[in-house]
């Protein structure tokens, strides 16, 4: 850990001192070790530093609060990243408004050769769930991939859960301090994320949970990543803001198209229509667009074994669906040579037993 970490933390806790002023302080004082030892007169010669700010810098409060934060960091084995550190994420450092200090709890590096951000609506539909499940299952075979999202309801948490399931390293960027998981219902997922990824924030343990925190969080999500994928969002949704931030950083933006007239797809369709995002419909599209290799390795299939209790009709329907993913019910009737009512009964039974799931357009696939 940086030996001046308490001073770095204290810098971020000075009332009225932002990132630009901190950079002036570091430059004019010749380093972090000299800032809190400077005289008031010397501080007031620095741009943007007046008498009130100089008094705030020299007061005991920032260092006392920093000491409290440092105790939390050491107790919970939290890593810190100050923007002058060699291991500060290089993609994020390229962004002019990058955070000066970040806190990280995890077991995976916060950088990788391929970094994908996934954002979207908090009111995600089954459409995005299916897409994310398929996308991340296929991407799980891609080496050196890291996924970044925001731990929020909807698309964010669905992305994290799919990464956990497929053992993809993933980072949850938070709008709170590491002492406060928000929303609280995602605490159990946060614990799992730490096992094969981590939790990242610029907020301290005393930070209040306010709406302004989350757009700040979004710039970190966009800045950490090579490409931001938008999956379902309203036109004025926060995910469109994140996409615009990514564009301002000259990062790639891609979006999943949706049904015309669906409120949760309006934002994605708008981004595509206005050339702010490239359309992607599959993992192959994403890999081709990013030039991350265009060959998806298939995971070794796990043979499913279900006890159909001698019901040859159920077994026949199962095998047809297994060999025809997303098969329409009419085609299923034709191939099985069973009546519509017989098929409906079999599908209901299989659905109740978590063997198949329905898709739009009266189609079915194995779970």
Contact 333, 313 (CB under 8 A): no
What value does the mean pLDDT of the chain take?
89
Q: Indicate whether 124 belongs to any domain.
A: yes
Q: Is residue 166 part of a domain?
A: yes
The CATH number that applies at residue 262 is 3.40.50.450
Q: Are residues 317 and 267 in the same domain?
A: no
How many C-alpha atoms does 140 have within 13 Å on its Cβ side?
21
Token pair in block for residue 311: 């019901």
Instruction: Say if pTM beats, i.e. exceeds, 0.75.
Output: yes
- Domain identity same for 232 and 326: no
What DSSP state is assigned to residue 200?
E
Domain boundary among 290, 321, 353: 290
Are residues 249 and 356 part of one domain?
Answer: no
- Averaged pLDDT for residues 24-50: 88
For residues 125 and 197, membership in a common domain is answered with yes
Looking at the domain assignment, is residue 88 inside a domain? no
What b/e string do you get for 288-323 counting C-beta neighbours within 10 Å, with b at 16 or more?
eebebeeebeeeeeeeeeeebeeeeebebbbebbee
Is 358 a member of any domain?
yes
Tokens 């159990």, residue located:
188
Tens digit of each residue's pLDDT (9 = 90 or more) over 206-240: 888 888 899 899 999 999 999 999 999 999 888 99
- CATH number of the domain encompassing residue 18: 1.10.150.20
Cα-Cα-Cα-Cα dihedral of 275, 115, 87, 200, to 10°? Answer: 90
Q: Which of 69, 94, 128 is the last residue of a domain?
A: 69
Q: Are residues 226 and 334 in the same domain?
A: no
* Same domain? 343 vs 270: no
Interval 234-276: pLDDT, tens:
998 889 999 999 999 999 999 999 988 888 899 999 999 999 9
Range of the domain at 262: 106-290
Q: Which of 241, 256, 290 is the last residue of a domain?
A: 290
* Pair (282, 317) in one structural domain: no
On whether both 283 and 134 belong to a single domain, the answer is: yes
Q: Does residue 359 sit within a domain?
A: yes
Structure tokens at 283: 């993992």
What's phi and psi for 232, nearest 5 deg? 65, 120
Cα 181–185–186 angle (5° rounding)? 60
Same-domain pairing of 226 and 156: yes
Contact between residue 325 and residue 130 where contact means Cβ atoms under 8 Å apart: no
Domain check: are 187 and 119 in the same one? yes
Which residue bears the tokens 């741009």? 47
Total domain count, the chain: 3
Is 275 in the same domain as 329? Answer: no
pLDDT in tens, 267-320: 999 999 999 999 999 999 999 999 998 666 655 444 455 565 557 888 888 888
* 79-118 per-position pLDDT tens digit: 999 988 889 999 999 998 999 999 999 999 999 999 999 9
Predicted pLDDT of residue 116: 98
- Token look-up 């053992």 returns 167
Q: Output the domain CATH number for residue 360.
A: 1.10.10.10
pLDDT classification of 360: cutoffs 50, 70, 90 = confident
């Amino acid at each position: 850990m940086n030996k001046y970490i308490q001073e770095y933390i204290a810098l971020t806790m000075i009332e009225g001192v932002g990132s630009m002023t901190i950079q002036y302080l570091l430059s004019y004082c010749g380093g972090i070790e000299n800032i809190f030892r400077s005289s008031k007169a010397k501080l007031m010669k620095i741009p943007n530093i007046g008498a009130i700010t100089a008094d705030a810098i020299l007061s005991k409060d920032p260092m006392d609060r920093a000491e409290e934060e440092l105790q939390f960091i050491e107790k919970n084995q939290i890593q810190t990243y100050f923007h002058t550190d060699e291991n500060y994420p290089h993609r994020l450092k390229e962004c002019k408004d990058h955070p000066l200090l970040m806190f990280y709890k995890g077991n995976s590096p916060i950088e990788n050769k391929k970094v994908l951000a996934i954002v979207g609506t908090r009111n995600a539909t089954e459409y995005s769930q299916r897409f994310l499940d398929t996308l991340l299952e296929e991407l799980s075979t891609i080496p050196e991939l890291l996924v970044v999202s925001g731990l929020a309801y909807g698309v964010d948490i669905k992305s994290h859960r799919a990464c956990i399931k497929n053992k993809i390293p993933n980072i949850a960027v938070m709008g709170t301090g590491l002492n406060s998981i928000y929303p609280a219902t995602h605490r159990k997922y946060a614990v799992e994320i730490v096992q094969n990824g981590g939790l990242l924030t610029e907020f301290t343990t005393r930070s209040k949970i306010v709406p302004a925190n989350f757009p700040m969080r979004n710039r970190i999500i966009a800045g950490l990543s090579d490409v931001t994928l938008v999956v379902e969002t309203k036109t004025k949704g926060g995910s469109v803001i994140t996409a615009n931030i990514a564009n301002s950083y000259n990062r790639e933006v891609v979006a999943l198209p949706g049904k015309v007239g669906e409120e949760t797809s309006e934002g994605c369709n708008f981004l595509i229509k206005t050339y702010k995002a490239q359309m992607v419909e599959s993992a192959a599209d994403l890999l081709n667009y990013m030039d991350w290799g265009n060959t998806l390795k298939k995971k070794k299939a796990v043979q499913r074994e279900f006890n159909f209790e001698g019901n040859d009709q159920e077994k026949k329907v199962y095998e047809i669906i297994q060999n025809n993913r997303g098969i329409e019910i009419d085609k299923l009737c034709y191939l099985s040579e069973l009546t519509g009512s017989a098929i409906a009964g079999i599908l209901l039974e299989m659905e109740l037993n978590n063997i198949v799931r329905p898709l739009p357009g009266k189609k079915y696939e194995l779970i």
